[in-house]
Structure 1
Amino acid sequence: MIFLENFFDNIKDFFFPKICIISDKKLSRENSNDFVDDKLLSGIPRLTPDDLLELREKVKADFFNSYLPFRSESPAQVLIHYLKYRGFSRIGSFLGKYYGGEYVKTFTKLERYDIICPVPLFKTKVRERGYNQSEFICSGLNSILGISQINNLIIRTRHTKSQTHLKYFERLSNVKDAFKINDTFKCKISGKSILLVDDVVTTGATMNEVIKVLRNEDIKEISAFTIASAR
């Protein structure tokens, strides 16, 4: 039986090899995931303490953490591109769990979190893409935290342009008043501590607009988590 299993695994591996999306090299069977080499992932440069200090001044959360520098053609850029535009939604779950494992090692007061939720997309964007990538990151992270996850706690009330090529004040204007609390959950968040999750933060305009909406409620504490940060 073991011989047959190995035989069919070899056939599958030959005709349908798993390829690292960053290096384009074949992944070993022992690799923990189907899209990026474990050794390559562990060696990706991280945000420096100075980077994080600068970001924590931008993001108006009580606590904020991020991991990878998001630059053109960087490993983080490739991972997020596949997550958002190539249909690799599972990358979100994997990255959320992977960096969630690091998160719990560096930030031990996890009992403070009551609710975890993703930054929302507008409904037309969800239909176009098929999913909200931040929900998958959120689910992966929450597989470590094990707290209440409310994917539609925040509602995006209107379509907004992509923030990618907008200047700072254009970004602020673009997302101004674009979010609201889902009335269904208002009674459930009073006095709670919330962890907000997104894929990438740049100026903090989107994240801060969501945080502003949450601050209008009787929220105890708001923290934020992203996989990567751009400048």
Structure 2
Amino acid sequence: MSKFYGILPIEQATAMLYFHSKGIVQELIHNLKYRKQQEIGTILGNIYAHELIDANKIPKVDYIIPTPIHKKRLQDRGYNQVTTFCEALSKELKIPIENDVLFRIKHTKTQTKKSKAKRAELMSNNFEIKAKDHHIGKHYLLVDDVITSGATIEASAKALLEIPNSKVSLLAIAYTQS
């Protein structure tokens, strides 16, 4: 994902699918995210884990980190849309999920109609780290649903990189040009 070159010191970046407006991937993501069809995350996570295993491309990471959503959005939606995807990856790749280090501290409205600059502005200082000694020096696989402008995952990754000697790789269910 070249959109992060020179912006973030990431180890690896990958996405499972390409997202475009009115396509089947958009339908899958919307069903996962807005229509409570969490099993889509499980199915996609299982498929992608096996693709990574078959291609011998399993990332050498210590923890999988689902990009967090704000507690208000979690309360409204009832779930984080990347959770089941991460759980399937974790189970198949045998990499633990770490939910207690990265937190979203600002609630923002949906960004789907916002410009790249506005998304970056909204995401600034939006995440907080609560690192413990065992988080220091670890390699994190940060997972999001769709990377559009990259503002959310960039802000999340920058927060994780505040942990001393940490490394970050990125993985998304889908990726789109913005």
| TM-score, normalisation: structure 2 | 0.91
Find the structure with the greater CA-based Rg: 1
Shift of residue 174 of structure 1? Answer: 0.6
Letter in 2 for 1:174: L
Partner residue in 2 for 1:18: none
Q: Residue 55 and residue 140 in structure 1: after superposition, are their counterparts in 2 closer, same or farther (change >3 A)?
A: farther
Among 83, 86, 93, which residue is 1:138 paired with?
86
The 1-side partners of 2:82 and 2:23 are apart by: 20
Q: Which runs of 5+ in 1 are unaligned?
A: 1-51
Partner residue in 2 for 1:90: 39
Q: What is the aligned residue count?
A: 176
Q: Any conservation in 2 of the 1:58–1:203 contact (CA below 8 Å)?
A: no
The 1-side partners of 2:56 and 2:157 are apart by: 20
Instruction: Choose between structure 1 and 2 for higher RCO, CA contacts under 8 A separated by at least 6 residues.
Output: 2
Give secondary structure in 2 for the equivalent of 1:133.
coil
Q: Any conservation in 1 of the 2:160–2:166 contact (CA below 8 Å)?
A: no
Q: Say if 2:174 is the partner of 1:228.
A: yes
Identity level (%): 34
Letter in 2 for 1:102: E
Residues 160-193 of structure 1 deviation map (CA, whole Å, 9 limit, x = unaligned): 12121111110110110000112xx432210111
| TM-score, normalisation: structure 1 | 0.71
Q: Say if 2:99 is the partner of 1:151.
A: yes
Shift of residue 90 of structure 1? Answer: 1.4
Q: Say if 2:157 is the partner of 1:211.
A: yes
Report which of the two has the higher share of helix. Answer: 1
Shift of residue 108 of structure 1? Answer: 3.5
Partner residue in 1 for 2:129: 181
Shift of residue 151 of structure 1? Answer: 2.2
Following TM superposition, the consecutive aligned residue runs of length 4 or more in structure 1 with deviations greater than 3 angstroms are: 54-59, 105-110
Letter in 2 for 1:104: I
Partner residue in 2 for 1:123: 71
The 2-side partners of 1:139 and 1:172 are apart by: 28
Shift of residue 94 of structure 1? Answer: 1.4
Q: Residue 59 and residue 136 in structure 1: after superposition, are their counterparts in 2 closer, same or farther (change >3 A)?
A: farther
